Structure 1
Amino acid sequence: MAEIIQNRVQRIKEERVKGPWQEAWTNFKKSKSALFGSAIVLFFVLLAIFGPLFAPQGINEQNLSMRLQPPSADFWFGTDDLGRDIFSRILHGARISLTVGLSAVLISAVAGSFLGIIAGYYGRWVDTIISRIFDIMLAFPSILLAIAIVSILGPSLQNALIAIAVINIPNFGRLIRSRVLSIKEEEYIHAAKAIGMKNSRILWKHILPNSMTPVIVQGTLAIATAIIEAAALGFLGLGAEAPQPEWGKMLADARMFLMNAPWAMIFPGLAIMLTVIGFNLMGDGLRDALDPKMKS
């Protein structure tokens, strides 16, 4: 009898219903491309944290006698036009690019989510004003709007971060607004209002937690876009300034030597490409794992 009860308990444990996040993690692990993208992201995150500690040379250490040297045992990725070690600069540049991407997306996600929740929950003239602001911002190509903002604020890495954050606010705002419009019609929201719960508590306890899934997915994909935009601004001379080893700035500095020293552009370009691919693959995996419509 005891053995029968034990077997039944074991069966119940194995068949118990998984929580939403546990189920999402199980679905995420089934995607090989998502795991591959996560491995790339983890690699570059570790590179950004610990890479500069193992850089063979300083990022601004110049040796004009060794300028434009091809990859070798002494200089794994070669040297640039000032004799600086490209490998060391890429290691330091990983921290800059990831910091800009993560910080810009975090700012835009917080600001966009706040505006989207307010617009979707309160509606009427509040929704009209916020939605029209989003429409005006989205009417401009994102990179042109970023260039305009940086031109007004002045070229610098910090201003480039602000510009990237601003141009991504409408994407998060419109996304979470559409989510709130459907959530606020649910029965448990009406029940919360009926018992006299304050709007602020409803927004914080019910609306916000149930609106985070699309924001997480969009945020992961937006990091890849932010890294590209930061590199584009750096390439145009509107982002990082010399001697900062930002990947886009490194591409701009090396474009004059493309024919003579292609490695000076190839390796920063590969770093940007791999980072963006990693975040895109991970974002696609999160979308498939968290979106009920994508589940098989």
Structure 2
Amino acid sequence: MDPEEHLEQLETPSIPPSPAKPDPQVWRRVRLLAHNPTAAAATLVLVFWLVIAIIGPAIAPYGTDEISSGAVWKAPSAAHLMGTDHLGRDIFSRLLVGARQMVLLPTLSVSLALFLGTSIGLLAGYRGGWIDEIIVRMMDVMMAFPMIMLYLMIIVSIGASAVNVVIALGIGTTPGVSRLVRGLVLDLRNREYVAAAKMRGESGWYIMFHEILPNALGPILVDGLVRIGYACFSMGALGFLGLGCRRQIRTGGRWSARRGRHW
């Protein structure tokens, strides 16, 4: 080794890497959450159901379709914490297993609605003109139907299954999302940074997805989180009407599809 290089290594002290510091923005959000009782309670409820959705099927004491003979409409007890239904099935076990679907499927349906509605709203609000007029009228026609009736029309047309319920809820929620996004775009397209992007010669697609969408993302995500709750209620209503997620169970030596009625 060259003596000069060896001397430089001896004179230069080795500085240990500094430990990673926590992000101050994260801690600031945590402090704001801790000082807001309503937000803290909502976060605890959300975390609780997420944990139940993850571990629920593993800790369920009974099978979802396990029938206890002579235990029809039983009150809560040590054997059945929430009682039994009209077939003698444990309600607590069905709640633990069903939590996963009630967390996953509404989230997927609202995600589909956000993707479709954001794309449609961006196009309508930025382009304007006859494109905006056609899209707005189509969304108005869809919103003229009661939501449950629109869901029923879609599911009856394509069949009742988990995937089709997600598609129906996503399509039915799209008009509301598109109108929100369109209103945001109509305001944001006149901002200075959009004018600067036009002066740089950026394309319309670039301006929509790189300049306007990031600035409209906050209200869109908040609206999507609210719509997840409404999607849960809609799924419950569809299940009550027999058009929700169909489940295959063993009945009398054959596989049958339950659609909300007693076989």
Matches within 5 A, 1:98-247: 98-242=103-247
User: Using the alignment, how far apart are the partners of 1:143 and 1:66 within structure 2?
Assistant: 34
Partner of 1:267: none
User: Using the alignment, how far apart are the partners of 1:78 and 1:235 within structure 2?
Assistant: 19
Summarize deviations over 1:110-153 as a string: whole Å, max 9, x none: 11001000111111111111111111111111111111111212
Partner of 1:13: none
Measured after TM superposition, the shift of residue 28 of structure 1 is: 4.9
Aligned length: 230
Question: Structure 1 residue aligned with 2:93, among 82, 88, 94?
Answer: 88
Partner of 1:74: 79
Tell me which moved more, 198-207 or 35-44.
198-207
Gaps of 5+ in 1: 1-17, 245-249, 255-296
Contact 2:242 / 2:261 at 8 angstroms: preserved in 1? no
**Which runs of 4 or more aligned residues in structure 1 lie more than 6 Å from their structure 2 counterparts after TM superposition?**
21-25
User: Using the alignment, how far apart are the partners of 1:125 and 1:24 within structure 2?
Assistant: 43
Measured after TM superposition, the shift of residue 185 of structure 1 is: 0.4
Measured after TM superposition, the shift of residue 233 of structure 1 is: 0.6
User: Using the alignment, how far apart are the partners of 1:38 and 1:242 within structure 2?
Assistant: 31
Measured after TM superposition, the shift of residue 226 of structure 1 is: 0.2
Measured after TM superposition, the shift of residue 29 of structure 1 is: 4.6
Residues 210 and 154 of structure 1, relative CA distance in 2, 3 Å threshold: same
Backbone CA RMSD of aligned residues: 2.3
Contact 2:109 / 2:170 at 8 angstroms: preserved in 1? yes
Summarize deviations over 1:63-118 as a string: whole Å, max 9, x none: 22333322111111112232221111110111111112101100001110010001
3-state secondary structure, aligned to 2:171: helix
- How many percent of aligned residue pairs carry the same amino acid? 36
Measured after TM superposition, the shift of residue 58 of structure 1 is: 1.5
User: Using the alignment, how far apart are the partners of 2:37 and 2:113 within structure 1?
Assistant: 30
3-state secondary structure, aligned to 1:66: coil
Tell me which moved more, 60-69 or 90-99.
60-69
Residues 30 and 135 of structure 1, relative CA distance in 2, 3 Å threshold: farther
Contact 1:60 / 1:243 at 8 angstroms: preserved in 2? no
Contact 2:118 / 2:177 at 8 angstroms: preserved in 1? yes
Greater helix content: 1
Residue 58 (structure 2) pairs with residue 58 (structure 1) = no
User: Using the alignment, how far apart are the partners of 1:122 and 1:140 within structure 2?
Assistant: 27
Tell me which moved more, 153-162 or 41-50.
153-162
Q: Which amino acid aligns with 1:131?
A: V
Measured after TM superposition, the shift of residue 158 of structure 1 is: 2.5
Q: Which amino acid aligns with 2:63?
A: G
User: Using the alignment, how far apart are the partners of 1:104 and 1:203 within structure 2?
Assistant: 24
User: Using the alignment, how far apart are the partners of 1:52 and 1:29 within structure 2?
Assistant: 31
Structure of higher CA gyration radius: 2
Gaps of 5+ in 2: 1-23, 250-257
TM-score (structure 1 length as normaliser): 0.72
User: Using the alignment, how far apart are the partners of 1:136 and 1:27 within structure 2?
Assistant: 42
Contact 1:67 / 1:79 at 8 angstroms: preserved in 2? yes
User: Using the alignment, how far apart are the partners of 2:234 and 2:209 within structure 1?
Assistant: 32
Q: Which amino acid aligns with 1:235?
A: F
Partner of 1:292: none
